[in-house]
Amino acid sequence: MTTKLSDAIDMPEGRDVIQKDMDNLNKWVCVNLLRLIKAKCKVLHLGQGNPRYQYRLGDDEIESSPEKKDLAILVDEKLDLSHQYALAAQKASGVLGCMKRSMASRLREVILSLGSALV
């Protein structure tokens, strides 16, 4: 299960709201006897001029991360998608290489239909 908390924080009061939500989440996890892997919890600070407030979950401070994968999209703190494009190109290249190594036929029609099926 994945849980996300987000808000536009432009004043210290906004930081307090997020921290209160974190505290409520921690209490809910404890009350419902769930296990939360705190090492996987990350904070992604977005936007220029972000004050980069620190948050904690229980007694543990949550580590900040420069990027995070969300719904198979790699989001970074600058909202730059170039790394996402590079990963997609690398994956496509690997699939094409696998097709090239495993296919006996080099006919254009065969390669196009197999490529279309994979996409």
Write out the residue range of the structural domain in which residue 108 sits: 81-119
| Residues in contact with 87: Cβ distance below 8 Å, sequence separation at least 6, in sequence order | 74
Instruction: Judge whether 43 lies within some domain.
Output: yes
Token pair of 3, please?
Answer: 């849980």
Going by pLDDT thresholds of 50, 70 and 90, the confidence category of residue 1 is low
Token pair of 42, please?
Answer: 């990350």
Residue 67 three-state SS: strand
State whether 46 and 16 are in the same domain: yes
Q: Count H helices and E strands in the chain, helices first.
A: 3, 6
State whether 27 and 52 are in the same domain: yes
At 91-109, the pLDDT tens digits run 888 887 887 788 777 788 8
State whether 4 and 58 are in the same domain: yes
Please state the rounded mean pLDDT for residues 17-25: 90
State whether 39 and 89 are in the same domain: no
Kindly report the backbone phi and psi dihedral angles of residue 6, in degrees, each rounded to the nearest multiple of 5, phi listed first. -150, 155
Give the global pTM.
0.59
- Please give the DSSP secondary-structure letter assigned to residue 62: P
At 30-71, the pLDDT tens digits run 999 998 888 888 888 887 777 888 889 888 899 888 877 777
